[in-house]
Amino acid sequence: MLKNQKRINNKKAYKLSTFFLYIKLLKKWGNKQRKKFIIANIFMVILAIATSMYPLVIDFAFDTIEGNEKSKIFLIPIFILFLTSTKGLAQYYQTIYVGKIANGIIKDIQLNLYDKILNFDTTIFNEQNAGSLQSRFINDLNILKESIIRTLNNLVRDSLTLIGLIISMFYLDWVLTICVIFVYPFCIKPIIEIGKRTRVISLNLQKKVSSASAFLNESFSAVRVIKTYNLEKLQKQKAKNKFEEIFDSNISIIKTRSKIEPTLEIIGGIAISIVLVLAGLRILNNDSDFGSFTGFISALLIAVQPARALGTLNAILQEGAASLLRLEDVLNKKNQITEIKNPKMLLDFRGKIKFSGVNFFYKKDELILKNINCIIREKEDVVIVGANGSGKSTFINMIPRLFDPSKGSIFLDDKNMKYFDIKSLRSQIALVSQDVILFDTSIIKNISIANKSATKAEIILACKMANAHNFIIKFKKSYDTTVGDRGLNLSGGQRQKISIARAFIKKPKVLLLDEATSALDNKSEVYVNRSLLNFSRNITTITIAHRMSTILYAKRILFFHGGKIVGDGTHKKLLKSNSAYKSHFLTAYS
């Protein structure tokens, strides 16, 4: 049902007129550019007037020469220099201001898009892929920027220029002007149809570019796996298929666009043919003169360029409209995790956590967590055990509200967590995962992001507790060493130690550890576990564990099986009283 509704909404979106989409764009993002838009339009008006005066100067020149008026002949170069200088300056400043408007709008969209994506629910991120989202920033926004520039340049400037030239043409010969105006509307319908086709192809092209971007992102991230398993040939074939799809779509757009020029060329040829015949007859009948005819032909030829620009503009606008629809699709996504109005700050949090009748699912018929009921007392150290896919990570990800329960409630110090400000809640929680993420900056900055008020002495102490200080000071730049993209300049163990130091420096009330020491050697693990034990004496600690050493000495174990908590107690107690736990333990650690 939801999928069908989504398809209906998509069809409605694609049927939105291009004009409406661009008006919506300017209303939403163009307010800041209002002054620049007015200035740009002033220069466009000047440019249009200067251009439309050319035929009149040509008419004046022929009349002067034909009338043998030597006193006026020196005015001709003065008029021409004045017009060309005015037009050149107006065009220069108009181009600059249009560029500022387009890039200003794109910058605001980029910032809003980044903010929107950064605040997406984890569930939305799971539905998307990084390459597709990157494509919105690079490909879609570049296409949209070009369409905005063309819209402002061609739609406004060329329309004004055409109006000015038509006025000049009416002044020179109103009969011929009416003939031309009657002929050109015949090209409007085919241009609109070509534009509609262009939007559909462009939308498909941008989806293919997103898919290719995601594929490249995946390939470069998995280069070790590709090399180890000799997958180069397979990946190369996949790349070839992706790039051929893009090539085919690009050729389709070129073929569709290329129909516009011949259409305009033929219509233009018909118009000029009619003008030449009628003008000749009117001159022979003394209803017009040679100067007016020359000026009129000049106006008609000058009008060809803006007329063609307006003709091809529709295809560009349709491509931009397709990009705009894809951007709107992201910007209009709604998070399921929301704050209530006027949420409370989570102050003096003691660390008590209660799950009451919690269910969670991505799809209604696939429950990840089923009726979870448990209380984790303040300053308690709890270990989570269970097979892969039993719901352990989902359980701890609910505590910082990365997911919300599909049913049931979670309480912090006996108050529903939904009443608390999300940032305030997350400031009390530190998470150390086996999938360590470091930013492409220095070691000290990677640690200090958890606590911006931390001193260097406190950061060094945290690193010593995490057994990281000794390897850090061996680097030439010590704590100022850049870790590289995703921290890949460091080993897995080094990254994990920095991640643990980052958790220490945050000084949380709840510490979540998801296989936090999995990349450490035995000696480092013993050292770090001792530090974790000392650090966690006065905070609530929840650890997902697979290592036997963590499980054997746990004071309390929550055993997950099939999305449920089916065991609660010490290792010895569960081994004796819980057959599912005993079977899991013997299978995993036999």
CA distance 17 to 23: 10
Among the candidates 477, 507, 537, a domain finishes at 507
> pLDDT tens digits, residue range 67-87?
667 667 778 788 888 888 888
CA distance 172 to 56: 8
- Residue 528 resides in a domain: no
CB 537 within 8 A of CB 379: yes
Which is nearest to 547 in space by CA: 518, 581, 583?
518
- Residue 460 resides in a domain: yes
CB 459 within 8 A of CB 444: yes
Least confident segment among 184-193, 300-309, 426-435: 184-193
> pLDDT tens digits, residue range 226-257?
665 677 788 788 888 887 887 887 787 677 76
Give the pLDDT confidence score for residue 160 in this predicted structure: 81
Mean pLDDT of 524-546: 81
Cα→Cα distances 218→124, 128, 235, Å: 19, 13, 10
Among the candidates 462, 484, 507, a domain finishes at 507
- Residue 140 resides in a domain: yes
- Residue 111 resides in a domain: yes
Among the candidates 316, 331, 346, a domain finishes at 331
Q: What is the DSSP letter of 478?
A: G
- Residue 28 resides in a domain: yes
CATH number of the domain at 474, please.
Answer: 3.40.50.300
- Residue 514 resides in a domain: no
Q: State which of 120-129, 285-294, 359-368 shows the largest mean pLDDT.
A: 359-368
Is the pLDDT reported for residue 11 higher than 60?
no
Is the pLDDT reported for residue 372 higher than 80?
yes
CB 428 within 8 A of CB 453: no
Query: Do 314 and 457 lie in a common domain?
Result: no
Residues 6+ apart with CB under 8 A from 391: 360, 368, 369, 560, 563, 564
State the pLDDT confidence band at 416, using cuts at 50, 70 and 90.
very high
Query: Do 326 and 464 lie in a common domain?
Result: no
**pTM of structure:** 0.71
**In which residue are the tokens 């079977």 written?**
583
- Residue 569 resides in a domain: no
Query: Do 315 and 451 lie in a common domain?
Result: no
Query: Do 201 and 76 lie in a common domain?
Result: yes
Give the range of the structural domain holding residue 273, as residue numbers without chain letter: 10-207+253-331
Ramachandran region of residue 25, left (φ > 0), alpha (ψ -120 to 50) or beta? alpha
- Residue 73 resides in a domain: yes
> pLDDT tens digits, residue range 91-103?
888 888 888 888 8
CATH number of the domain at 46, please.
Answer: 1.20.1560.10
> pLDDT tens digits, residue range 391-413?
888 899 899 998 889 899 999 99
Report which of residues 218 and 393 the model is more confident about: 393
Query: Tokens at residue 459, please?
Result: 């950061």
Mean pLDDT of 112-138: 76
Instruction: State the total domains in the chain.
Output: 2
Which is nearest to 293 in space by CA: 319, 315, 306, 275?
275
CB 547 within 8 A of CB 589: no
CB 522 within 8 A of CB 514: no
Query: Do 187 and 316 lie in a common domain?
Result: yes
Give the pLDDT confidence score for residue 373 in this predicted structure: 94
